[in-house]
Structures are given as C-alpha cells and as structure tokens.
Amino acid sequence: MTTISPIKIKKEIQPKEQHDIKKSVYLTKQLNLWYGDKHALKNIDLDIKEHEVTAIIGPSGCGKSTYIKTLNRMVELVPTVKTSGEILYRERNIFDSNYAVEELRTKVGMVFQKPNPFPKSIYDNVAYGPRIHGIKNKKILDEIVEKSLRGAAIWDEVKDRLNENAYSISGGQQQRICIARALAIEPDVILMDEPTSALDPISTLKIEELVQELKKDYSIIIVTHNMQQAARISDKTAFFLNGEVIEYDDTDVIFSNPSDKRTEDYISGRFG
Amino acid sequence: MAVVAPTSIILGVGSAIYLEEYAKKNRMTSFIRTNISNLAGVPSVVFGLLGLTIFVRALSLGNSVLAAGFTMSLLILPVIIVAAQEAIRAVPNELRDASLGMGATKWQTIVRIILPAAIPGILTGSILALSRAIGETAPLIVIGVPVIIQFLPAGVMDTFTALPMQIYDWSSRPQQEFQAVAAAGIIVLMAVLLTMNSIAALIRNKFQKRY
Ligand SMILES: Nc1ncnc2c1ncn2[C@@H]1O[C@H](COP(=O)(O)OP(=O)(O)O)[C@@H](O)[C@H]1O
Ligand SMILES: [Mg+2]
C-alpha cells in the first residue's frame, strides 16, 4: 500500500458522493471568451451545484466578473464579445440561438457591485420585475413586495417607508433592496458580483448572513476578492487567474489544502 | 407652438433614443451624430429656405401656420436631439444593467427606466429650444409669412404672423397708439420667454441628480 495523503482521498471521494445528491445548475464546458483580441476566459470547465454557495476568487482582472456576466449573458452587451464552448443551465445550452436572454435572466437574478436601485420608490423598485412580467394586480404585487423584502431581511427597516425614494436609505440597505428586487422575480439562481465591496463591515455582515439564509431556496454564485468572505460563506470555491480556472473544490479544501501552488500563494496573500 | 412642440419633441426624442440605444457605433452613425450638432449651429435663414422649398412649395402648404410650424420644428430639432441624447447618455449604465438583468427587454428598459430618468433633461432642453423658436423671425420671413395681420388665424392652414414681427412692424409706425401696442407686445413676448425659461430651470432643479 502506498501512502495517500488525506487531501487526495477527500478530493477523490467527495465529488462522487455529491454528484448523487445534488444536481448541477450550471455546467460550463470549454468556455472561451474574447473582448476583441483580448482572450479573457480560457477553456473554463466548471460544474456548479444547486443550493450551494459557489465563490469565485482571484486577483482583479482575472475574469471573475466576465465569467458571472456570461452566466446570464449580460456580457454580450459589450459589442466586441465573442464566445465559444457551452454553458448548460439546467441542461440547456444558454448560447442556443432559440434561447431568449429575457427568459434566462428571469431565472437568473443578478446583484451588482455598486448598489443600483432605480430612482423610484422602494416599492416600485421591488415591484419592477413582476410588473415587466405582466403582473398588474395590486394585491398580488403587495404580497410579492413584502415577501421579497422579508426574504432580503429588510422588511422591518423599510415597511413604513415603502413610498420613499430608494436613494433615501443607506448603501447597505440599498443593496438589500437590490437583492429583494432580484428575489421578486422568483429566480432559481442569484449571481452576485462583489456585492459587499462598496459596503461598511456591518452591512457586509448582514449580507453574508442573508446569503446563508438564501441558499436554502436558491443557488448562489458570488464573486468576491475578500478571501475571508469566501471562506466564511461558500461551499465551493473556484480560483481564477488570468482567465483560467486554476483550482475548483470544496471551500475548506481550497483554504486548508490547496493542490496548486498558485492557489496557495494567492490565499496566503502572496499576490493579488 | 401647438404645431412646433409636438412635432419637434416627438421626432427629437425618437431620434435620440435611436442614436443612443439602438444605432451601432460605427463611422456612419458617428458622422450623423457630429452633423446633428453641426446643424444646431446653422443660421436660421437657411432653415427658412429649406422650409420654403419643402413645405410651402413642394408640399404646397402655402404660408400657413402648418408650414411655418414645420419649418420651426426643423430649426429646433437638432437642438432637441442633442439635448435628449445628452440626457439619455447621462442615465447611468448600472440602471440599464439592473433592468436588463431582470429579464426586461430593451424597449421595456427604455420606456420604464431610461426615459423617466432622462425626462427632466429632455424637457429642459426642449423648453429652451422652443423659447428660441418663439423669438425667431428670419425663417418665417423667408417662407413669406406676412409681417402683420389684423385678425386671428382660425386654423392651421391660415396665414398668421409671429409676435416679434408684429412688434417690429408696430413700432415702426408713426401713430402713437401703435407704440403702446408694440410695448405691450414686447411685454407679452418677454413674459412668455421668462416663464418658459423659469419652468425649464424649475424642472432642472426639482429633478436634480438622484443617482
Ligand atoms: N468591456 C471590456 N472590454 C475589453 N476588455 C475588458 C472589458 N471588460 C473586461 N475586460 C478585460 O477582461 C479581463 C477580465 O476582466 P474582469 O472580468 O472585469 O475581471 P475581474 O472581475 O476578475 O476583476 C481584464 O483584463 C479586463 O481588462
Ligand atoms: Mg470584477
């Protein structure tokens, strides 16, 4: 018998076990993406499971935002973008010519780096999604708004000021309004691109707790350049470097026993 | 005014939406963009000649309210397009992203998010442009609008005149009474202009950047 290090064993067994219980939400196969001539994503293969928090870490400019914006095809708003490869969302290739982006984005909500509420009332912000999808009934809208605001853990703070402009509340509260707005369309997946980077520590903590709550009902993919945050809140972590996935594994493995030297250097703060 | 305002605002905002949100950014569209700004600086007499050729002669509208209204719309259209383009461009991309990211179509995003956010800028620009139209006379002289009329025009096909021309005519007459009428005309013109410009300023202040 040769000696196998405990890390290796864990790596070989765990993915197999999880395959049986958890389904994939996103299966990325050989994804490449170019901004004009710039090759921003290189041969990405990732299997993202449902009801998990998947963190994407890496130094800035490594393609984290590009990758999650590809998951809901927002990246195509940049006219020079070209892609190759496949991303299967619930077994369907999102690049299929007959896959309407609006349909995909109704299933996949997004929360951005900087809180970006609409210059409307808190109520109208949260009701925006249901309204564009044709819900007019005031009673139903009221219910969705309350449910979404509760889901985003901000109902108690804003229930008496639903008609105030969303810019009248703090940045941390605005970000939770944005989360509520995303919840209102009852998505399946929530993409978050550094959602706390513009927030103070207390608001950050609230969002982190919220993410833990939300993963019961949603699959969450979160970009962060704060490694403690990734370690605290995620189940899986993917480490990106120069447009490539260097390592993708359970978060505790990545942070305690990374198998790639570059991952180790990054998480121990040697670069980035 | 009843002709100029709707024509120029609808066409102007429509063109601005197309240029900012739909048109691809290539040589052709940047050429068009630059030239719209250039048009805004073309002397008004030239627009008068254009109006004379197109509306008065080719479409045989004669020297009516309609012909003059269309001519004036042409004159201020570039100004409105530029103002609307700027207002639309000032709407942060984050808002577009937020809306598109929820599965809204481009059109829903324009109607529900971009236009409401851009309307203060569009209105301010339009009102300032319209108040320029009120004071303009050169294009009207060119299309052959009579300098003075004694009766109110009854419909859009009637001949008419513009206030500044009336004033000019009145004030150059020898009789005392006309001096007084001219003065009254000037006050009316001033009051209208000041009111429009203050409305523009009010709108601008009320809706000052909320994002
Ligand atoms: N719109 C764009 N046009 C051209 N290059 C871009 C664009 N957006 C991002 N890039 C490039 O793609 C790379 C990845 O960017 P990004 O995904 O934003 O990185 P991250 O989010 O990890 O900081 C960077 O080198 C960046 O310069
Ligand atoms: Mg980024």
Pick from A159, A68, A143: nearest CA to A109:
A68
Residue ID of nearest Cα to ligand 1 atom 3 = A35
Least confident span in A109-118, A144-153, A187-196, B140-149: B140-149
Q: Check whether A154 has a pLDDT greater than 80.
A: yes
Q: What is the pLDDT of residue B132?
A: 79
What is the per-residue pLDDT across A201-242, written as a single tens digit (0 to 9) for each? 988 998 999 999 999 999 999 999 888 999 999 999 999 999
- Minimal C-alpha gap between A191 and chain B (Å): 10
Asked if A189 contacts A109 with a C-beta cutoff of 8 angstroms, the reply is: yes
Q: What is the pLDDT of residue B54?
A: 81
**Segment A54-66 mean pLDDT:** 94
Asked if A151 contacts A70 with a C-beta cutoff of 8 angstroms, the reply is: no
Atom index in ligand 1 nearest the CA of residue A63 equals 17
- B4, burial (CB in 10 Å: exposed 0-12, middle 13-18, buried 19+): buried
In whole angstroms, give the CA distance from residue B178 to residue B172.
8
Of residues A11 and B204, the one with the higher pLDDT is: B204
Asked if B139 contacts B75 with a C-beta cutoff of 8 angstroms, the reply is: yes
Which of the listed residues A38, A39, A225, A241 should we mutate to test ligand 1's pocket, taking the one with most ligand atoms within 8 A of CB? A38
Token output for A72: 């809901």
Band of the pLDDT at A270, cuts 50, 70, 90? Answer: low
Atom index in ligand 1 nearest the CA of residue A60 equals 23
Q: How far is Cα of residue B94 from the mean position of the Cα atoms in its chain?
A: 30
- A201, burial (CB in 10 Å: exposed 0-12, middle 13-18, buried 19+): exposed
Q: How far is Cα of residue B74 from the mean position of the Cα atoms in its chain?
A: 8
Asked if B166 contacts B48 with a C-beta cutoff of 8 angstroms, the reply is: no
Q: Which residues line ligand 1 (CB under 6 A)?
A: A 35, 38, 40, 58, 60-66, 78
Query: What is the reported pTM?
Result: 0.81
Pick from A218, A178, A221, A219: nearest CA to A198:
A178
Q: What is the pLDDT of residue B146?
A: 66
Q: What is the pLDDT of residue A39?
A: 96
Paired sense of beta strands A189-193 and A219-223, if any: parallel
Atom index in ligand 1 nearest the CA of residue A243 equals 14
The rounded mean pLDDT for chain A is 90
Spell out the per-residue pLDDT of chain B, length 211, in tens: 667 788 888 999 999 999 888 888 788 888 888 888 888 888 888 888 888 888 887 787 777 777 788 888 888 888 899 999 999 999 999 999 999 999 999 999 999 999 999 988 888 888 888 887 777 777 777 776 666 666 666 666 666 777 777 777 777 777 777 788 888 888 888 888 888 888 888 887 777 655 4
Q: What is the pLDDT of residue A20?
A: 53
User: Chain B contact for A221, CB < 8 A?
Assistant: no
Q: What is the pLDDT of residue A2?
A: 47
Q: What is the pLDDT of residue B155?
A: 66
Band of the pLDDT at A272, cuts 50, 70, 90? Answer: low
CB-CB neighbors (< 8 A) of A109 in chain B: 101-102
Q: In this predicted complex, what is the ipTM?
A: 0.84
Q: Which ligand is nearest to the CA of A37?
A: 1
CA dist list (Å): B131 to A26, B4, B123, B125, B127: 57, 11, 12, 10, 6
Which chain A residue's Cα is nearest to B94?
A116
Q: Check whether A15 has a pLDDT greater than 60.
A: no
**Segment A107-134 mean pLDDT:** 94
Residue ID of nearest Cα to ligand 1 atom 16 = A63
